[in-house]
Chain A
């Protein structure tokens, strides 16, 4: 792998694309996206369902032709060097896409041979051992549980030691311990120079990324470190805690200045961009028996909910149905 020729990559960007656009019929799924990911960083790719994350990732690894836009992945041109990109990139699909009628070992060996990995057997053996799947290696992949399928897929897409990982919701359905192991592994690899772009819906994962990109309806609406994104949101959040806090949710939602209210356990997060209006809305409840109201740094989730509502107001669900986390 290390024998790869490194074409001119002056800026040290693993991903460098501009104006990436994809249309399906009359619908624009991705609308002029710019992403520049420096070598060795871990970037989170976030956005509501249908916002264009998968479509963007597919364009990055050459599985979809961009209608507009140009750029490079690992220094290879997106339009003309798709084959080279495929060799050097590890792509994990959102939906499990390995062969369910092949065993775990057979799947991995197939991948190893497709990438012409030297001494494929040993490499596959290592991977199986690392996954702790020695005793189940001849089990059919289709018989694995959802989480194990994800782990297999992840191991398979890293088998050829790619220099860039494009992971599409790699931890969906994976238990917390495995998720933590996964992130430890990601950071270890990024320390060795691997670049990662990972899409996720989990806040804690977003917080583990060097930078996040938030996309909505095909447009990037926020980017930067977690602190920057929170800062840029200009959002203020008050936490209402204590007896009867829950019952206030409905009333607060109707109040002027309150953009959204969400439950965090017994507490309410009341958020809006106009701090004074928020204060006014909360004023009647201040000093109420057993109720504590305090300002807090908005959580990433608060910010994302705001971003989602702001950029897609027509899809705003009825307030009652907004699911608490």
Chain B
């Protein structure tokens, strides 16, 4: 027996937690059920590839080319033409009010410029507040128009169709400067799901002991606060790992999210992020007197993590104060890391700016938990 730090005691706590977890069917169900439900609900409800999006066509230059454009839109299952108008203002107003998701604008002199080979522009304004909804359709547009107009460019104009596009499709994703693609949603969900379940799992760690009266017994034993914290947090790291694997599998095989970067690097960052969230939950549980309080604190933490992390709204679209708040949250940084690694293939050097805040956060949350921990019942 020594007065020192004891791995045996950490092992004892860890073991106890695992046994208790195993016996708690609800928790077991939560470990797998909640992330699955969330990813499918969010993933499908957000609908990565919607069809029949309401569209307005603003025609400032009627003619055969305009007709072709309209026909092409009608033939495509992506678009549903709500209105064809010759007033750009009217079309824009519809977009503003959310009556349509797209405005296709055929500018004045489109036919003339096209025939002249002056590369006229087809302007497409999209409502990108829901970028995941609009992006596939947008991507389809350029191809669509290219094909449609090729048929019109015959005879002496055929050369225009053969070479580079005879016109430019200019897409303005409005209201959403980052123009996020659909793939952003699912990796983002990883951050949200982990935040939620990790904080939930540990916010009750001590609160439950307190409510059941076992806390007094625990405190009467010679366990050190750090040993207790590690023993209580560690089993949940496994839980987080299981959830991460599940979410990533679904992301890849159900939603086809590309995974370009290093999965090893991602695993390291996941571990860091999971532990940071567990530390937050544990801090809550050192403060909360009962389970209700613990839940309230969790919600208090979870809402900003969803709303301000860049998951729900594009980060740069938020007011500066909200961005500052967001920078404090681990979810914000992890969101960038996971998107960076999966979608952009970012490496260590690129993600470091978002990794050190995670480390700092973990350190602060852990210290806070240890400071808040009461060795007595007072």
Contacts and interface: CB of A to CB of B under 8 A. Distances in A.
A264 to B, nearest CB: 36
Interface string B196-221: 00000000000000001111110111
B344 interface: no
Given A91-B220, A97-B213, A97-B216, A63 B377 contact: yes
Contacts, number: 81
Contacts of B375: 62, 82
A58 B377 contact: yes
Interface stretch (B4-12, B36-44, B54-62, B353-361): B4-12
A101 to B, nearest CB: 5
Interface in B92-112: none
Of A62, A65, A93, A97, most B-chain CB atoms within 10 Å: A97
A169 to B, nearest CB: 14
Contacts of B219: 63
B15 interface: yes
Contact of B217 (A83, A93, A115): A93
Contacts of B215: 97
A80 to B, nearest CB: 13
A65 B376 contact: yes
Contact of A116 (B9, B13, B20, B378): B9
Contact of B214 (A1, A63, A65, A97): A97
B221 A86 contact: yes
B221 A98 contact: no
Interface residues of A, number: 32
Interface in B1-40: 1-3, 6, 8-9, 11-13, 15-16, 19-20, 23-24
Contact of A86 (B8, B213, B222): B222
Interface string A73-93: 000000000111011010101
A1 B1 CA distance: 8
A61 interface: yes
A99 B216 CA distance: 12
B239 interface: no
Nearest to B223: A114
Contact of B16 (A89, A97, A99, A115): A99
Given A87-B222, A101-B23, A115-B222, A93 B12 contact: no
A283 to B, nearest CB: 54
Contacts of B378: 64-65
B209 to A, nearest CB: 9
B212 A61 contact: no
Contact of B8 (A89, A96, A99, A113): A113
A98 B16 contact: no
Contacts of B13: 114
Nearest to A4: B1
A97 B217 contact: yes
B20 A62 contact: no
Nearest to A100: B212
B21 to A, nearest CB: 10
Contacts of B24: 101
Nearest to A82: B375
Contacts of B23: 101
Nearest to A89: B220
A297 B8 CA distance: 56
A183 interface: no
A148 interface: no
B16 A106 contact: yes
Nearest to A88: B222
A139 to B, nearest CB: 13
B27 to A, nearest CB: 11
A186 interface: no
A93 B215 CA distance: 11
Interface string A33-66: 0000000000000000000000000100111110
A102 interface: yes
Contacts of A102: 16, 19-20
A86 B378 CA distance: 17
B75 to A, nearest CB: 63
A111 interface: yes
B19 A114 contact: no
Nearest to B23: A101
Contacts of B212: 99-100
Interface string B122-141: 00000000000000000000
Given A63-B220, A95-B216, 18 more contacts: A65-B378, A86-B220, A86-B222, A93-B216, A93-B220, A97-B214, A101-B23, A101-B24, A102-B16, A102-B20, A110-B15, A110-B16, A111-B221, A113-B8, A113-B12, A113-B15, A114-B223, A116-B1
Interface of B: 1-3, 6, 8-9, 11-13, 15-16, 19-20, 23-24, 212-217, 219-223, 375-378
Task: Pick the 3 closest A-B CB pairs, nearest first.
Answer: A113-B12, A97-B217, A114-B221
Interface of A: 1, 3, 58, 61-65, 82-84, 86-87, 89, 91, 93, 95-102, 106, 109-111, 113-116
30 contacts: A3-B1, A58-B377, A63-B376, A63-B377, A64-B377, A65-B376, A82-B376, A86-B221, A86-B222, A87-B222, A89-B220, A91-B220, A93-B220, A95-B216, A97-B217, A98-B214, A98-B217, A99-B16, A101-B19, A101-B20, A101-B23, A101-B24, A106-B16, A109-B12, A110-B16, A111-B221, A113-B9, A114-B9, A114-B222, A116-B9
